[in-house]
Each structure stands twice: as structure tokens, then as C-alpha cells.
Chains A and B, each alone.
Chain A
Amino acid sequence: MIALSPSAPPGIPTSEAHCADLCCFPAREQYFDLIESFKNDDFEMCVDLCGVDYLENLERALPRGVVRTRFEVVVNLLSLSKRQRVRVRVQAGDDDPEVASLFSLYPGTEAMEREAFDLFGVLFTNHPDLTRILMPEEWEGHPLRKDYGSGRVPVQFKEAPGPR
């Protein structure tokens, strides 16, 4: 059923552990060129792009040769003609996460990159309109980072003394 598996250009670590998809781990500088080569290789659609903050899991399993950074940007590409998926996990950096924008290759990544910027603070070079998308414009911080605590609303029980 599955045709030939896609192959990554030489020099980029890959793995197929734990998932059916091929997974590539380019460095920041290789990222855009790698995606472009996949696009030329009939991967017509970029289905998903999201960020991951590995602050509490820095020693995660990665293929040899990959320099671990705190932030990763995960891109899922889909080839309709070959019926295949490929996943690209780029190490986006520690304190200054920044990768190239895929907007010029796949215009559909515009909203997804804005979401990754909004929730993780990952910058995308050459993005036409890098503004917040889900949070209000004046919001401080990036909520899905692991060092960003989630809010709590104190529960007010009926019997408990408190402001009325």
C-alpha cells in the first residue's frame, strides 16, 4: 500500500523510530532548503506547523549529531500524489528561537507560524505579518512555554468566608 519511502538529502539526520513517518532533524541553516527540496519532491501541502518547548525534557532522544536546543518547530508535510507524510523537526534555538518563514513556499503556513510565534515566541524571518493571533495584542509572555505558569481561579465555596 505504501509506496517508496521518501528520503532526506544526505547530511541531515533522520529517524523512523516510534512512528510510521520519516522524520528529519535539520539545523536552523538547513531548514528552509530542506523544506524546499521536499516541496520540489511533490510534497504539495504543509499540513501542520507547531512549536514545542523542551525546557523540562532537554535530554530527549534524538539521532546522533543533532544539537539539542530548547525550542523545536515541527512541520508536517503531506504528499497527495505519493500518499506520504514527512515530519521535519528543526532545532529552533534556546533563548532567541528564530527560523525562516515558510510563507514563500507554502502560503498556508501564515496562520500556523503566527500561532507558534504567539504561543512560544518563535520568530519567523520574512513572515509578512508576524503578530499575535490567539492572544490579545497587549498580552505579555508566551503561554505555551514551559516556564509560563497556567492561571488558577480560586474556588469560592458557599460557606467559606470571603468577599460578598
Chain B
Amino acid sequence: MSDDTVRTVERVELLTAETSEGDQELKRRESTKTTELGREVGSVLRLDGHGFDPNSVDYERRDDETMIINMGPSHPSTHGVLRLMLELDGEFVLRTKPVIGYLHTGMEKTGEELSYVQGATNVTRMDYLSPVINELCYSMAVEKLLDIEVPERAVWIRMMMSELNRMSSHLVWMATNGMDLGSTSMMIYGLRERELILAFFEKTAGLRLNLNYVRPGGVAADLPDGWQDDVLVICDTILERTYEYDQLLTGQPIFRQRLVGVAPMTAEEALALGVTGPLLRSTGVPWDLRRTMPYLAYDQVDFDVIVGTFGDNFDRYAIRLNEIRESIRIVRQCIDMMPDGDYRSQDPKVTPPPRARIGESMEALIHHFKLFTEGFHVPAGEVYMAVESPRGELGCYLVSDGGPKPYRMHTRAPSFVNLQAVPLLMRGGMVSDAITVISTVDPVMGEVDR
């Protein structure tokens, strides 16, 4: 054997070691604990009290009959860097295990090092499809600790912007879901409509994606002149287009065959797994925080909570499509009912002095400087705030020790929890159904890994 051959073999072993996630991976049946096997096949959920029945797992199957393959982390239909390990029997999925963390950037640790003023720029990058709602959740938690009131106009601006954001997030979902199922034209249409909303975001906040628009104390800027016309055009155009999507997809036989009756889930399973958002509503549970635990001014607007029946892929599709229409209803009411007034709190503790004052007053300049270097101090305490993001309950748990930075900032990411439903939904389905399951669960990996 020549030296070259030896070196090649060593190199191959090294590469294998580098890509291994060790114990986090899906293990072979013979080396898997009984409870864990039960968890992975979903049988833990199907029993009273979630006890575990050993008889529900098929132990007879030997390892040499099945095959474990990786889907991802760079598979195009895993929406980022989700890695799924699938145990396959031919074309059928027996066990699934999501392996996550490929996008982990320690944002909760970063959150402890940024002041409360800077914090919004951090959380807006978590769920990058619904940045406004992330900022909103964080800002509401800070405001609750500070015990300050936000002006009425700021509340309504926040509500309108989060509904526009919900529309844009669901439109991206419609687009990617269409692409996953082979309808590439839907991909183009979904992103085209989203562009209208992003253009309005740019006009209002100056940025398209990570806006840093909602901040503790209010919003960063007032709505631009003539915003009513812009928003009306968005509402009219997108509402009309949703009926075109109906024509393109909803009744389309191939599309329906891929979705109807595929990967159903019961309400009991969804509750046990802590699943929220459209996934939970698809099982028939009418739980939407905007309605059931109203925040902002959601108790003053008229909208319906869309609920499914069967908890299958088609219900999840229909819920998201109709939620776009409900968001349009809310946005239209926001246009009519938008109050006048300040767009941010006038409490000098959190709000910097107006730009014009800084030029003529030394105190105003110092105040501005202190606010943006040191930040404001927040009374000691802890708080959990939850809002309804397009993916489910988005929570922010803040602990303050009285300083200008959060002592602990934890985000309850809906995608992170919803991802636990994937092994249950995929079991017994085909590999092609696995793609639709990832798509309809709609995980955003930035939020899963944080």
C-alpha cells in the first residue's frame, strides 16, 4: 500500500467525524432505549395519560430491513438548515428525528449583552419572516416591566404593521409551499405580492426585512404621508390575488391529492406537544391569542379565527390562505379607526428628545447621548409576554436585575416547539409526503435555532 492511499483513508475518517452530531442523531433500533423509541414513533402520544405501551412499537423489524437517511441540512425543501434523519422502509417513513442547531448563533446570550434599546435589533433577526411581531413581543415585555403606557396611535400602528407582516409571512409560506409541491408559478406570485408589503415597510421604517420599527415605548417613526392609499392598494391587490390562488391551487386535483388527508393530527396530540398557531387551529381548537387573550387593540376590531377540522395538510393550507384575508379585514379597520396623536411614548425615560431640541439644548444632547449609550434602567422583575405570530405563540421571558440590560432574555419560539410534531406527522407517510409535512409545519430556522 502506498503512502497516498493511507492518507486518503485518514482524510475520509476525519470528514466523517466532522459531520457527526453524535448522540443527537437518530440511532439504530437495537441501540435505542425503549421510551425513546416510543417517543420517536409517536406512540407516547397516542395513549391515555401519555404513558408508554411497549406493545405499540414494532420491535420485530430488524435493522437490516430498514435504512436511515439524512434529509438536509442543505436540502432545498427543508426551508433553511433543518436536518431530518429518516428511517425508511422502502418508500415509507418509520421514524423521524429532526437534528437542529445548524443556525445557532447564541442570540439569547447576545440579548443579555445589548441594552433594552438595542434589543429590538436582535430579536427582529430571530423569525426573519415576521420581524415586526418579534419586536412587538419584546417591546411589550419591556414596557410591562417599565410599567409605561403606549399612546393610542402607536398601538394601532403596531397592530396594522403586525397584520401586514402576518400577510407577508403567509405569502412567503404560500410561495414556498407551492414550490415544494411543484407549483413554481405559485412561488413567483407569492413573492411578488409580498414585495408590495415590503415596499411599504421600506417607505415607513426605511428597511425591508429587519425593521427595528417597533421599539420599547412606541414605534420608530410615524406613518408616511398618504399611507392610507398605499395600504388600501395593498389590501385590494392581495385580496384579489388570493382568489387567483384559489383558482390556481385550492381546487387543483394534483395539489389536493398531495394535501387532503395527508399527515393528520388530533387536537389531543397537538395540545400534548405544545403546538400552537395554524397547526393547533387546524385540529379544530379555536385558540388564537389575538382573540382569546387580546393584546394591543385586537378586542376592538372585527375578525374571524379560522379553524380546521381534520388537522391535515390541506386544513393548514386553507387556514393560512384565509388568515391572509382576515388580516386584510383587520388592516382595513385600522385605516378607518387610526387615531391621531403621538407615535411613541412621551415618557422622557425611554424616548429621546426631538431632533430639533438637540441642536439648541445641552441637556437634550446629554439626555440623547445617555439614552443611546447606556440605555434606560428597567425595574427588577420578570415577565412573560406572548403574542400570536404567524407560526403560533411567540413568547418573550425577560428577567431584569434593575440594570440597563436584560439579565435573561428568553424567546419562546413557536417553530422550535412545532417542530416536535414532525416525527408524529411523518410516521407512516411516504418520503414525498415528508416534504409537504415540513412545508405545512412552516418552521423558520432562524427562530428554531436562535
Contact = CB atoms under 8 A, between A and B. Distances in A.
Interface string B374-414: 00000111111010000001010101010000011010100
A106 B384 contact: no
Contact of A60 (B113, B379, B380): B380
Interface string A86-120: 01000000000000000111111111100100010
A105 B50 contact: yes
Nearest to A104: B50
Q: Please tell me the size bucket of the interface on A.
A: 35 or more
A76 interface: yes
Contacts of B276: 45, 47
Contacts of A50: 397, 410, 412
Interface class of chain A by DSSP = loop
Contacts of A56: 401, 407
A150 B111 CA distance: 12
Contact of B101 (A44, A134, A150): A134
Contacts of A109: 274
Contacts of A60: 380, 401
B395 A48 contact: yes
A19 B109 contact: no
B39 A129 contact: yes
B402 to A, nearest CB: 9
Contacts of B407: 52, 56-57
B292 interface: yes
Contacts of B51: 104
Contact of A106 (B274, B393, B410): B274
A76 to B, nearest CB: 6
Given A19-B381, A52-B399, A137-B23, A46 B292 contact: no
Nearest to B51: A104
B22 interface: yes
Contact of A80 (B101, B285, B380, B408): B285
Interface class of chain B by DSSP = mixed
A144 B417 contact: no
A83 B44 contact: no
B384 A18 contact: no
A131 B22 CA distance: 9
B108 interface: yes
Nearest to A2: B293
B282 to A, nearest CB: 15
A120 B342 CA distance: 42
A47 B412 contact: yes
B420 A83 contact: no
Contacts of A18: 145, 379, 381-383
B374 to A, nearest CB: 18
B417 A107 contact: no
A47 B395 contact: yes
B2 to A, nearest CB: 33
Interface in A1-51: 17-19, 21, 44-48, 50
